[in-house]
Structure 1
């Protein structure tokens, strides 16, 4: 039952993220989307794996940090994906150190919301 909740919530959040990608502007598109994408990854990981909340949040954070470091070294370009929409969407194109902060906020938010859900 819990896995279904996480999967459904992740699906709903994916719609929100798509809306931000298409219609978002300014800080909402840049850093707001970065916060929420880590929450989304957390939800997907919780749906797939029976791991503690803190481990799941750390995994989502490590993935996000790895993608950001990949941007620093132009991983998309090295893989020949920089000119594709999917490559830019999945791997990004511009390193921003503030994104690391946004990802950290997202991981913390995911755990806090999950703990709040358990107490309700």
Structure 2
């Protein structure tokens, strides 16, 4: 693992963050907001980590996935309420407020997409 700064990953992080904000503000459906947003959020976190670290894809992907699982498990235990933040819109958006297995699947598919894209990109450059 090497500390470094990547403009490419920073720009991807910013684009994904803007996309996530737009989804949170304007999408009020039963698919894009809950599942596409969760699919993209792990990619956003992966890109954020890669903005500052040069590390193998699989360990970073697994770390991001475990982090996402942890956040979802905290939702199961209603951590926002236990922290006294149940009235905070930001806390409810960022941390979420209820557990869903579909979210776990969306996180997993997001990381699998990263792994497949990175593998394909590596194969094209060899």
TM > 0.5 fold call? yes
Q: TM-score, normalised by structure 1?
A: 0.91
- Whether 1:69 aligns to 2:77 is no
CA distance in 2, matches of 1:81, 1:117: 42
Distance 1:10 1:116, change over 3 A: farther
User: How many positions carry a matched residue from both structures?
Assistant: 120
Distance 1:56 1:63, change over 3 A: same
Structure 1 residue 79 displacement after superposition: 0.8
Structure 1 residue 115 displacement after superposition: 3.5
Structure 1 residue 112 displacement after superposition: 2.1
Structure 2, unmatched stretches of 5+, are none
CA distance in 2, matches of 1:22, 1:115: 33
Q: TM-score, normalised by structure 2?
A: 0.87
CA distance in 2, matches of 1:93, 1:110: 26
- Whether 1:92 aligns to 2:96 is yes
- Whether 1:82 aligns to 2:86 is yes
Structure 1 residue 117 displacement after superposition: 4.1
Q: CA RMSD in A?
A: 1.7
